[in-house]
Amino acid sequence: MRHRYGHLAREYDRRWARYVEASVVGSLRRIDLAGVRDVLDVGCGTGTLLERATRAHPGRFAGLDLSLEMLEAARRKLGARAGLVAGSAATLPFRSRAFDLVVSTSTLHHWRDPVAAFAEIRRVLRPRGRVAITDWCGDSLLTRLRDRVLRRLEPAHGRVWRSVELAALLADAGFTDVRIERWRIGVRWSLMTGTARAGHN
Ligand SMILES: C[S@@+](CC[C@H](N)C(=O)[O-])C[C@H]1O[C@@H](n2cnc3c(N)ncnc32)[C@H](O)[C@@H]1O
């Protein structure tokens, strides 16, 4: 994974410009930043979501990614506006109860251990903190076909989840108020944003 996105980092923003822009804008539209101070973006990539969020909101922002090259691209974009850290979603290098909001866009389908990742996200959230996960939605046939192809051809690909499966992952990790909204970018991309609230840890 680190290797794969190391190669992609330089061309990622150009190659995926329209998708990234639309998915990040669509995700942010579904997140309420009111009252939020500390925000973590898991799998922040080149920092497009953080770039927009830091312009729109006066909180403290952190981004985490497996790929040093993606983080380097994010650093160029963000400067000191966000703290950027190398690491895995499954073992977050942050103290417990450090964040009010954890977001993640287009990375869940890469995670090798989503159960560990959601436990970690819950751990780093303050009580009543919120999580918002946007990714491809396996409810759509086209997405399931893409999933099947990528599993064979793309070593960095993990798997696509259906909306009920994302809801179950969140609920099993102890989140409450789980909601999944399905949405689209054109005809090709079926996405979902799962939002939920951390109970008391
Ligand atoms: C498709 S890119 C999405 C980047 C960014 N969130 C966006 O919306 O443009 C997926 C990113 O997730 C990162 N990633 C994949 N698995 C990860 C994991 N387990 N922990 C942290 N980052 C991960 C990759 O290195 C890559 O930068």
Candidate from 28, 52, 107, 120 with most ligand 1 atoms within 8 A of CB, to mutate: 107
Please tell me if the CB atom of residue 44 comes closer than 6 angstroms to any atom of ligand 1: yes
What's the CATH code of the domain at 64? Answer: 3.40.50.150
SS3 (DSSP) at 145: helix
Residue nearest to atom 5 of ligand 1 (CA): 45
Total structural domains within the chain: 1
Q: Is 109 in the pocket of ligand 1 (CB under 6 A)?
A: no
Q: Quick check: CB of 24 below 6 Å from ligand 1?
A: yes
31-46 pLDDT, tens per residue?
Answer: 999 999 999 999 999 9
- Domain of residue 54 covers 2-198
Per-residue pLDDT band for 1 (boundaries 50, 70, 90) equals low
- Smallest CA-to-CA distance from 88 within 105, 119, 66, 61 is with 66
What's the pLDDT tens digit per position in 113-160? 999 999 999 999 999 999 999 999 999 999 999 999 999 999 999 999
All residues at 6 or more sequence positions from 46 whose CB lies less than 8 Å from its CB, including other chains: 9, 12, 13, 20, 70, 73, 74, 77
Q: Which residues contact 91 (CB under 8 A, 6 or more apart)?
A: 116, 120
CB burial of residue 45 (10 Å; 0-12, 13-18, 19+): buried
pTM, full prediction: 0.96
Give the residue whose CA is nearest to atom 10 of ligand 1.
107
